[in-house]
């Protein structure tokens, strides 16, 4: 993987990434960097690469998903960048939280 800035633009090139939670997280983060939004990376993010979350602001619902067969614990950083929720998920489980 390589990344470059040129003028006001940014580009990321990735080759040979295998499908793995770590690769998915790396690509996700690279997209934030390429968009110039790296300061937004930490919000609505999970600490465990085997989990992910989605925020639905109108309903104030946070959906946390376990993409793994283990019983992981993860921390979700909320939109203010400071508040966090600890979540323990069943294998391949989903939790819907009202925040």
Q: Which two tokens stand for residue 97?
A: 């939280």
Number of alpha carbons in the 13 Å side-chain half-sphere of residue 8 = 0
Q: Are residues 69 and 99 in the same domain?
A: yes
Q: Are residues 87 and 53 in the same domain?
A: yes
The enclosing domain of 73 has a CATH number of: 2.60.40.1180
Do 72 and 66 meet the contact criterion of CB atoms below 8 Å apart? yes
**Confidence at residue 60, expressed as pLDDT on a 0 to 100 scale:** 95
Residue 74 domain boundaries: 42-99
Q: Are residues 49 and 92 in the same domain?
A: yes
**Confidence at residue 63, expressed as pLDDT on a 0 to 100 scale:** 97
How do residues 27-74 score in pLDDT, each as one tens digit? 999 999 999 999 999 899 999 999 999 999 999 999 999 999 999 999
């Amino acid at each position: 993987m390589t990344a470059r800035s040129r003028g006001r633009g940014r580009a990321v090139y990735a080759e040979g990434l295998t499908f793995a939670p770590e690769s998915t997280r790396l690509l996700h983060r690279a997209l934030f960097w390429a968009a110039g939004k790296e300061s937004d990376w930490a919000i609505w993010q999970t600490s465990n690469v085997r989990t992910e979350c989605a925020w639905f602001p109108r309903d104030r619902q946070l959906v946390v998903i376990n993409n793994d067969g283990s019983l992981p614990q993860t921390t979700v950083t909320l939109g203010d960048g400071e508040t966090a929720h600890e979540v323990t998920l069943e294998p391949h489980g989903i939790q819907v939280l009202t925040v």
